[in-house]
Amino acid sequence: MMEFYEFRIIDRNSEAAGVPVSRLMDNAGSVIARSIETYFPERTSVVFICGPGNNGGDGMTAALKVSAFRETVVVPASPDMVPKSEMLRQRYAAVSKLSSSLDVLDRIPPERLLIVDCLLGYGVDRPPEGRFLELIEMMNSLRKKGAAVLAIDVPSGFPYPRHVLPDMTITFVDMKKGMDEESCGKVVVGDIGIPETALNYTGPGDMLLYPVPSAESHKGNNGIVTVIGGSIFPGAPVFSSLAAYRTGADLVYTVVPSRMAGTVSSFSPNIMAFGFNEGELSEKTLNSIIHWIDRSNAVVIGPGTTYDSFNSVAETLITRTDKPMVIDASAIETVGRRKDLLRGKKAVITPHAVEFLKLTGEMPGNSLEERKEKVQKWSAKIGATILLKGRIDIVSDGTRIKLNSTGNPGMTVGGTGDVLTGVVAALMSKGLDPFNSARLGAYINGSAGDICFREKSYGLLSTDLIEAIPEVIRNSLS
């Protein structure tokens, strides 16, 4: 079962894949018409109750097809209903000859009547009220009197307690979360021609997951990240820190060995670097690092480190913190040697193929199907989301799986993985769960790389990638 928000993402990704919503609506209309003919042959009068959104558009499209073999009436949600888009206005105009008022229901014997509920779709974000609630209660009342009710996609008002209780629901793509026979009647899943890429890969629709700041927000409300690393490579935690900023985090604390702090600070005035004693932990150092973690919403552990110099730091910090975290570089090997470390925590691990070997003890394989299977298996075993970097990135939390094809061969340059780590951490700091942070992070990172490749070709740098991140966000949210 999919979360409701996934279907809005799929619609937008389908559009990007060349299958517009209008075609999906045509296909939905055909599925509805065939279902009425198959499942309700004795209901000779069909009344579509249509709302102003896409759910109503599905109903209006179906009504034209059903009118060829049944007595068909379209009842808009209100006499002065204004469809929400030009496409829907055109669909409404096309069924004008079938349009009527609710009075028509008084003239049809209940045993002959099929009500098709196209009032509200899966996009409702609050309990129905006013006119919509009246219509929901009317449909339920008529069903008690003997009319049949068919809901389209989801029963209107679902998943809130006061919703249409239909005999059957024709839903699309997949079952929505919470759907069962008690609340939705018999559920039939219809294929409306969503492209496989829109279902399985990230795309522009995934940007709907991006937590847009409130106009009333202030510093600290939109994510605070602590980046811990840099035991041998000072640039890596800088890349992660600047990428987190460019993804919209309000504050980033960059915690590195004391000997690196001055170098790290010199990269940019935006970097707030804080030192701990070399690569080892003392009680004083531990308390200092935990101080910055406690002030943040998400943590990055590992960029720019080696296992020998950082293992004790990584293991202790992972054990001590319950903040959402991104595990990178040598900290991945730390988890590989203690695979229970992340149980019960919110974490994303970002390995490439060799790091996946250190994490799991096996290479991810060559074929996409083998890699998907292994990522899903190991994310379930470890209890964390794994983002396996590659030509096709693979993201899984052990249950869900998503692929990402953005990116290009120019991104083999050093540091792009550190940029990805910072992007994912920023998204987690804004409240996204690990799986959605990883999938959206992979999309943003790869899309930024594609923007850079068009200008820099194989000479792109990780710093170029960082500067392109805001363009990806701006273009996708506009």
Q: Is residue 125 marked as binding?
A: yes
Q: How far from 11 is each of 27, 88, 155, 393, 394, CA to CA, in Å? A: 13, 16, 19, 22, 21
Q: Is residue 55 marked as binding?
A: yes
Q: Is residue 126 marked as binding?
A: yes
Q: Is residue 398 marked as binding?
A: no
- CA–CA distance, 403 with 225 (Å, rounded to integer): 26
Residue 209 DSSP symbol: G
Number of neighbouring beta carbons within 10 Å of residue 216: 6
Q: How far from 273 is each of 171, 259, 307, 420, CA to CA, in Å? A: 52, 11, 22, 20
Q: Is residue 56 marked as binding?
A: yes
Q: Is residue 58 marked as binding?
A: yes
- CA–CA distance, 278 with 263 (Å, rounded to integer): 14
Q: Is residue 304 marked as binding?
A: yes
User: Which of 294, 334, 290 has its CA nearest to residue 312?
Assistant: 334
Cα maximum dimension of the chain: 85
Q: Is residue 229 marked as binding?
A: no
- Would you call 362 helix, strand, or coil by DSSP? coil
The total number of residues written for the chain in this structure = 478
DSSP E strands, 31-86: 45-50, 71-76
Q: Which two three-digit tokens encode residue 157?
A: 């008002």
- CA–CA distance, 225 with 228 (Å, rounded to integer): 10
Q: Is residue 340 marked as binding?
A: no
Helix (H) or strand (E) holding 188: strand 186-190
Q: Is residue 153 marked as binding?
A: yes
71-76 β-sheet, strand order: 71-76, 45-50, 113-118, 148-152, 168-172, 186-190
**Rg for the chain (alpha carbons), in Å?**
26
Q: Is residue 296 marked as binding?
A: no
Helix (H) or strand (E) holding 224: strand 224-228
Question: Is the distance from CB of 223 to CB of 241 less than 8 angstroms?
Answer: no
Q: Is residue 123 marked as binding?
A: yes
Helix (H) or strand (E) holding 186: strand 186-190
Q: Is residue 193 marked as binding?
A: no
Q: Is residue 234 marked as binding?
A: no
Q: Which residues are annotated as a binding site for AMP?
A: 417
Q: Which residues are annotated as a binding site for K(+)?
A: 55, 117, 156
Q: Which residues are annotated as a binding site?
A: 54-58, 117, 121-127, 153, 156, 236, 304, 352, 417-418
Q: Which residues are annotated as a binding site for (6S)-NADPHX?
A: 54-58, 121-127, 153, 236, 304, 352, 418
